[in-house]
Amino acid sequence: MRFEWDAVRALVTRFDAGQQTDLANVIQAYFGDFMTTYRQEMTALVGQAGEQVSGIYEIDYRDFNRDTYVRGRETFDRTWAEVKEVILGTWWRDARMAGADREEV
């Protein structure tokens, strides 16, 4: 079994579009396919969860107004959706390869 690098991704986190777009674009250009396409935004929810040393999904939604909570969750949900797609694609690829190997034997 050999390691396939197509499942490895780097992720821009705590992204502030007002201050970091140029730098994120340079990083994206350099790393290309090794970067996720979505940049995880810095929101009040993300900042407070970090201060409380809590996971974003563990923090109490009642501590925030609705828009702040939705915006914070959305950035993590979009990131997870992209990572999940990479993981599932890799699993299916490996399952197809394992099936092809069994057929050859």
Q: Which two tokens stand for residue 59?
A: 């923090």
Place 101 in a pLDDT band, splitting at 50, 70 and 90.
low
pLDDT tops 80 at residue 78: yes
Tell me the one-letter amino acid at 86.
V
Tell me the one-letter amino acid at 94.
D
What total number of domains does the chain contain?
1
Tell me the one-letter amino acid at 50.
G
Tell me the one-letter amino acid at 9.
R
Q: Which two tokens stand for residue 16?
A: 């502030």
Give a yes or no: residue 67 inside a domain: yes
Give a yes or no: residue 3 inside a domain: no
Give a yes or no: residue 93 inside a domain: yes
Place 29 in a pLDDT band, splitting at 50, 70 and 90.
very high
What average pLDDT does this structure show over 1-19?
A: 80
Its domain, for residue 24, covers 9-104
